[in-house]
Amino acid sequence: MTKKYIPMAVNGGIGFGAKLKPKQLAVLGKYLDEDTEIEFTTLQQLIVQIPEAELEEAQRTFDEVGLHYYKVGKYVKNLRTCNFCKGEEEEGMPVAKELNRRIAGQEVPFTLKPAYTGCPIGCGEPLINDIGVMKDKDTFELYIGGKSKGSDARTGKLVKSNLHPEELYELVERILDLYRENSKKRENFYRFVDRLGIENIKQEIHID
Ligand code: SF4
């Protein structure tokens, strides 16, 4: 019988840079076939193929060593972040982790890439991702509709600034709901933002 594989995106979670520990690599190796290929993505993830029969056990073991894993396909990807060079609290790492916990893996009409950066220098490139969050002093700015590739690459549009964490989480959830409820089939998020227009979107999610 042909062995079935499930693709998973794996990383070490949000921290000071995208890093993996030897014991995490060892655990990964345990579930991968010898000649399998591992893809490194620009989203600080490894795409691996786990045998379906071992999936549950693999996930339990991943949890034990702190490996984070996400579905591959039409889901919100894990939050791409900067390296938090100025410190965990100052640059809002807990907020990035909580936002990631809430939205990563949500089903959406087309793969959606969120990004977070701990200060306006913007190493996490939030303005060229679908949803971008930038910490500025004690509050957060939320951008949507950025695009990094192609001749129509563009920066995202500001939804709102001076957001506190709970307001930020709430707005992002409302935007994802709006996208799910109103997008055309397989419509990219940036196209959806273009079609509706930033002012209409702000109205729909109740921002004056
Ligand atoms: S965005 Fe700011 S906090 Fe984050 S790595 Fe760059 S300089 Fe450091």
What is the layout of strands, in order, in the sheet containing 68-71?
39-40, 46-51, 5-11, 68-71
Q: What is the CATH number of the domain that holds 168?
A: 3.30.413.10
Tell how far the Cα of 87 is from the centroid of ligand 1, in angstroms.
Answer: 9
Express each pLDDT in 130-159 by its tens digit. Answer: 999 999 999 999 999 999 999 999 999 999
126 CA distance to ligand 1 middle (Å): 12
Nearest-CA neighbor of 95 among 168, 16, 18?
168
CB 80 within 8 A of CB 15: no
Q: State the pLDDT confidence band at 208, using cuts at 50, 70 and 90.
A: low
Q: Are residues 161 and 180 in the same domain?
A: yes
pLDDT given for residue 111 in this prediction? 94
Among 19, 44, 71, identify where a domain stops.
71
Range of 64's domain? 5-71
Q: How far is the CA of 171 from the centre of ligand 1 (A)?
A: 23
CATH number for the domain spanning 65: value is 3.30.70
139 within 8 A of 167, measured Cβ to Cβ: no
Boundary (domain end) residue, out of 46, 71, 96: 71
pLDDT tens digits, one per residue of 78-108: 999 998 987 877 789 999 999 999 999 999 9
Tell me how many domains the chain contains. Answer: 2
Both 138 and 197 in a single domain? yes
Q: Is the pLDDT of residue 167 over 70?
A: yes
Cβ–ligand 1 distance for 122 under 6 Å, the answer yes
Q: Is the CB of 100 under 6 A from ligand 1?
A: no
Q: Which of 39, 95, 29 is nearest to 62 (CA)?
A: 29
pLDDT single digits (tens) 22-72: 999 999 999 998 888 888 887 788 999 999 999 999 999 999 999 999 989
**Separation of CA 124 and ligand 1 centre (Å):** 8
Shared domain for 94 and 41, answered yes or no, is: no
Ligand 1 nearest-atom number relative to CA 91: 3
User: Of 34, 52, 71, which residue sits at a domain end?
Assistant: 71
Helix residue spans in the chain (DSSP H): 22-31, 55-65, 93-103, 165-182, 189-196, 198-204
**pLDDT confidence tier of residue 10, bands split at 50, 70 and 90:** very high
Both 66 and 85 in a single domain? Answer: no
pLDDT at site 18: 80
Among residues 130, 149, 19, which one has the least CA distance to residue 76? 130
Asked if pLDDT for residue 207 goes beyond 80, the answer is: no
At residue 42, the pLDDT reads 78
Place of tokens 């039409």: 74
- State whether 16 and 116 are in the same domain: no
